[in-house]
Amino acid sequence: MSKPLFLDIPPLLAANGTVHLPGSKSISNRVLLLAGLCSGSTTLHGVLDSDDTRVMLAALERIGCEVVRQGTTARITGIGGRLPVQAVQQEPIELFLGNAGTAMRPLTAALAMLQGRFLMTGVPRMYERPIGDLVDGLRQLGCDVEYAGTEGYPPLRIGPRALPTANANANANANAASTLFAQHSSLVRVRGDVSSQFLTALLMAAPLAGHTITFEIDGELISKPYIAITLNLLQRFGVTVQRDSDTGWKQFTVEAGAMYQSPGELHIEADASSASYFIALGAIASDPAQGHSITVQGVGADSIQGDIRFIEAAEAMGASVSSTPDSITIQRGQWPLRAIDLDCNHIPDAAMTLAVMALYADGTTTLRNIASWRVKETDRIAAMARELRKLGASVEEGDDYIRVTPPASAADWRHASIHTYDDHRMAMCLSLAAFNPASRSVRIEDPACVGKTFPHYFDAYFGVCQADPAHVPVLCVDGPSASGKGTLSTHLAKTLGYHLLDSGALYRIVGLAARRTGLLQDEGEPDAEAIARLAASLSIRFADGCVWLDGEDISDAIRTEQGGMDASTVSAMPAVRTALVQLQHSFRKAPGLIADGRDMGTVIFPDATLKVFLTASAEKRAQRRYNQLISKGFAARIDDLRADLQARDARDTSRAVAPLQPAQDALPLDNSDMDVKTSVQLVLDWWQDRQPFPAPEAHG
Ligand SMILES: Nc1ncnc2c1ncn2[C@@H]1O[C@H](COP(=O)(O)OP(=O)(O)OP(=O)(O)O)[C@@H](O)[C@H]1O
Ligand SMILES: Nc1ccn([C@H]2C[C@H](O)[C@@H](COP(=O)(O)O)O2)c(=O)n1
């Protein structure tokens, strides 16, 4: 199945718990490149695993670095400031960099300083993000960078940098050329008011020039904290950047002889911009009166990231925050939040979160000096204004500011389907709108876009959010054995981003445990009360697609036909059914639940949003089960399987408690002649019909 089209977030009530954040994107991509330019190996711990770092790693491998990844640790063996011979060739090497500005800009600068040929490409939005000022800066250094599409924008074609000898194009002559170059110095003028990434890129590449370079900033340098990260990390890789004595932000000099030196090992702190969503979450929904708080691990008071100053802005809006060197704890302080008027130039990315916090403020919030929003993953000022209006807010936007007035009253909040513009930050910060006082659910379109920096964002978010169970939507799939409930339910859960309850597995586990302990035997009447006590005491865990009982993976053990019959036997015991009710209810958590079984719609979740009763002819079901077993290498006889299915159906249907039968309000679905894809789509259409949002449009 393709990427989920949307994620519906039910109304949320409160937030409490601890979140472990992924590594910083800004630091990860900088240190990956620096490690790639060094000699020798550098081991980086806590590397962000996301779209943007993946394109950087792939590019490093293509230019000749050795990359070994294990979890969040990466060992990079760098090229030592010089391309390996195989990378110096006539045909350009294409490097696809997606929509990763933190890869496109610094890689362009570094590669342009070297002696190879490259074609720097990306997604269509990347071709709308200006890069002309960086290219101008590189050309001042003798770099050969051409626009392969529109002037001023990627894609870019890079050729060997001109060196001051007659035949300096060859890598072999680079030593002689750089000796000559060391006697030179360059003054490069760089615009500072569009993106600080241009200066970052030039500074990181400067040691490759082989001579002294002074960068002079034209205009006011924006996003200075990002330059501070660059300077800090360059220092850790042995490169000192000298700064002007006036403000420190007008002139930067990298001396000839500066050379990258691997620090050997480096730990990357968690992403401060990603922390902003959880800082805001704490401020909005962690009520100290209920003993609630949100703790963010991995980034804190010692952070080198500029976005850590989001804390000050959140405090200005009323958050109560305390920090350790590597953690932040947040609770609700003033409520409603306080409206603010803030220059956000120092926290451009995290400031988007303030725009959503503004929905919960006591007046109009103005965020200023955010012109850079317009050239990010999308035009974030326009996008934010449009989406906040959908929720019921009044929004004024200017070239470099946004002004947000919350909905006048609870009744003015709207159900909104939030378009995310392939922008991870739009998806993450707008998820906070689900705490609205009108208990409106919020649809986040294309939720997978968070993969750019925080692939497991929604797991982390729902892991600390609480909802009234009555508000958590449930979709029940009941029906006889082998009708395809599990298959359908798994696809639905994946597509809707919901939790999955395989209630049959619970009865199978009880059956297995009862047989293992001798409480269930082929002969004699089993002691139902003893089996119910056993059921209540079991330590069951569903994780990583497996079923665990007391630490043992029993996924296969419960799937035998004997397991099915034992499950059917214990499931007919009223005491066993009662013992499992609470456990089944505990699966009902935000954002929603797909419940697969026999009595999901009739007994366990009678208030479910949608109930499907799935059937298929006994013949088809036996055939499917047969195929299933044979494909797993088990011996099977179709006649036996049909007989077992019919015996199980008879027992499940005729038992006194919670028999297998359609709920009165269930929609029947006979999939005897329907493939999986069609039945999944049909149920999704039924589901969509019951949502307050318009049907989504497919996206690429
Ligand atoms: N619509 C369908 N068309 C064809 N095959 C299907 C369809 N739905 C499911 N199947 C196949 O039928 C087999 C049984 O499906 P599944 O395990 O999902 O059934 P089930 O109802 O959950 O069974 P049980 O109640 O025993 O757990 C699987 O191999 C599955 O791939
Ligand atoms: N809600 C449920 C789910 C399952 N059972 C029983 C009936 C089945 O024969 C047995 C195994 O279920 P399966 O894994 O095949 O779906 O468990 C039930 O009574 N109520």
Tens of pLDDT, residue by residue over 316-374, are 999 999 999 999 999 999 999 999 999 999 999 999 999 999 999 999 999 999 999 99
Residue among 159, 158, 108 nearest 129 (CA): 108
Q: Can you list the alpha helix ranges (DSSP code H) found in 436-526?
A: 457-464, 485-496, 503-516
Binding positions for ATP are 479-487
Q: What is the DSSP letter of 92?
A: P
Query: Measured from the CB, is residue 571 less than 6 Å from ligand 2?
Result: yes
How far is the centre of ligand 1, averaged over its atoms, from the C-alpha of 624 (Å)? 6
Length of the chain (residues): 700
Domain 6-21+270-466 shares a fold with domain 25-164+175-267: yes
Q: pLDDT value at position 442?
A: 97
Mean pLDDT, rounded, of the chain: 93
Pocket flag, ligand 2, residue 223 (CB < 6 Å): no
Q: How far is the CA of 616 from the centre of ligand 1 (A)?
A: 10
pLDDT reading at 176 higher than 80: no
Q: Where are the domains of the chain?
A: 6-21+270-466, 25-164+175-267, 472-498+591-700, 505-573
- The confidence score (pLDDT) of residue 699 equals 47
- Residue 584 CB–ligand 2 contact under 6 Å: no
pLDDT of residue 350: 96
Q: What is the third-level CATH fold of 25-164+175-267?
A: UDP-n-acetylglucosamine1-carboxyvinyl-transferase; Chain (3.65.10)
| Confidence grade of residue 172 (pLDDT, cut at 50, 70, 90) | very low
Q: 173: pLDDT confidence band, cut at 50, 70 and 90?
A: low
Cβ proximity of 565 and 644 under 8 Å: yes
pLDDT given at position 633: 86
Of 72-86, 277-291, 313-327, 466-480, the least confident: 72-86
The per-residue pLDDT for 183 is 61
Block residue for tokens 């002037």: 151
Residues labelled as active-site residues? 349
Copy the structure tokens of residue 239.
């490169």
Q: Which ligand 2 atom minimizes the distance to the CA of 604?
A: 1
* ipTM value greater than 0.95: yes
Residue in the block written with tokens 């007989």:
643
Residue 447 alpha carbon to ligand 2 centre in Å: 33
The Cα 18–Cα 295 span in angstroms is: 5
* CA distance from start to end of the chain: 13
Q: What are phi and psi of 264, to 5 degrees?
A: 85, -60
Distance 229 CA to ligand 2 centre (A): 56
Q: Which atom of ligand 1 is nearest to the CA of 674?
A: 1
Give the pLDDT mean for 198-202.
Answer: 96
Among the listed ranges 152-156, 302-306, 307-311, 388-392, which one has the minimum average pLDDT value?
Answer: 302-306
Mean predicted confidence (pLDDT) in 412-436: 97
C-beta of residue 548 within 8 angstroms of C-beta of residue 542: yes
Helix/strand/coil for 645? helix
Instruction: Name the pLDDT band for 700 (thresholds 50, 70, 90).
Output: very low
In sequence order, the 6+-apart residues with CB closer than 8 A to the CB of 597 are 476, 477, 478, 485, 501, 502, 503, 504, 604
Of all atoms in ligand 2, which is nearest to the CA of residue 652? 7
155 cis-preceded (ω within 30 degrees of 0): yes
Using alpha carbons, list the distances in angstroms from residue 150 to 103, 111, 126, 638.
20, 20, 11, 64
Task: Indicate the CATH number for domain 6-21+270-466.
Answer: 3.65.10.10
pLDDT at 219 over 60: yes
Distance CA 295, CA 252 (A): 38
Question: Is 64's pLDDT higher than 90?
Answer: yes
Confidence of residue 168 (pLDDT cuts 50, 70, 90): very low
Tell me what pLDDT residue 211 has.
92
| Six-digit token string for 620 | 């088809």
In angstroms, rounded to a whole number, what is the distance separating the alpha carbons of residues 421 and 433? 17
613-625 b/e (C-beta count within 10 Å ≥ 16 → b): bbbbebebbbbbb
Asked if the model's pLDDT at residue 135 lies above 70, the reply is: yes
Q: Which CATH class is domain 472-498+591-700?
A: alpha beta
Measured torsion, CA atoms of residues 564, 566, 571, 572, in degrees rounded to the nearest 10: 120
| Mean pLDDT of all residues in 55-61 | 97
For residue 76, give Cα distances in angstroms to 259, 288, 312.
17, 45, 36
Which residues, judged by CB distance below 6 Å to any ligand atom, belong to the binding site of ligand 1? 481-487, 504, 564, 624, 628, 671, 674-676, 679
Per-residue pLDDT at 179: 55
CB 648 within 8 A of CB 568: yes
> According to the model, what pLDDT value does residue 694 have?
80
Note the helical H segments in 169-223.
174-182, 196-205
φ, ψ dihedrals at 2, nearest 5°: -80, -175
678 CA distance to ligand 1 middle (Å): 14
**Cα(629) to centroid(ligand 1), Å:** 11
- pLDDT at position 375 is 87
Higher pLDDT, 484 or 185: 484
Say which residue the tokens 């679905």 belong to.
669
Nearest ligand 2 atom to the CA of 584 is: 1
DSSP state string for 335-397? SSBPP-EEE-TT-TTTHHHHHHHGGGBSS-EEEES-GGGGGSSS-HHHHHHHHHHHHT-EEEE
Higher pLDDT, 295 or 226: 295
Query: Quick one: which ligand is closest to 671's CA?
Result: 1
110: left (phi > 0), else alpha (psi -120 to 50), else beta?
alpha
The rounded percent of the chain whose pLDDT value lies above 70 is: 96
> Are the C-beta atoms of residues 540 and 506 closer than 8 Å to each other?
yes
- Cβ–ligand 2 distance for 566 under 6 Å, the answer no
Tell me how far the alpha carbon of residue 440 is from its chain's centroid: 24
Ligand nearest to the CA of 485: 1
The position carrying tokens 């004699």 is 524
Q: Tell me if 10 sits within 8 A of 590, measured CB to CB.
A: yes
CB 452 within 8 A of CB 424: yes
Tell whether ligand 2 has an atom less than 6 A from the beta carbon of residue 407: no
Number of CB atoms found within 10 A of residue 662's CB:
17
3-class secondary structure, 77: strand
Q: What is the pLDDT of residues 632-662, one digit of tens each?
A: 888 889 999 999 899 888 988 998 888 999 9
Question: Has residue 220 got a pLDDT over 90?
Answer: no
Helices 51-62 and 101-112, interaxial angle, to 10°? Answer: 20
pLDDT tens for each residue of 228-269? 999 999 999 999 999 998 888 999 999 999 999 999 999 999
Specify the DSSP class assigned to residue 223: -
**Total Cβ atoms within 10 A of residue 627:** 12
Residue 510 scores a pLDDT above 70: yes
Ligand 2, residues 598, 615, 644: which to mutate, most atoms within 8 A of Cβ?
Answer: 598
* Cβ neighbour number for residue 234 with a 10 Å cutoff: 22
Asked whether 270 and 296 are in contact (CB, 8 A), the reply is yes
> In this structure, which ligand is nearest to the CA of 505?
2
Q: Which residue lies with its CA nearest to atom 17 of ligand 2?
A: 504
Peptide bond into 336 cis (omega under 30): yes
Nearest alpha carbon to residue 192 among 222, 224, 214, 213: 222
35 closest CA partner among 10, 61, 9: 61
**Which residues sit in the known binding site?**
25-26, 30, 101, 129, 195-197, 223, 349, 376, 380, 425, 452, 479-487
Q: Which residues contact 186 (CB under 8 A, 6 or more apart)?
A: 140, 141, 209, 211, 212, 213, 214
From CA 274, how far away is CA 82, in angstroms rounded? 35
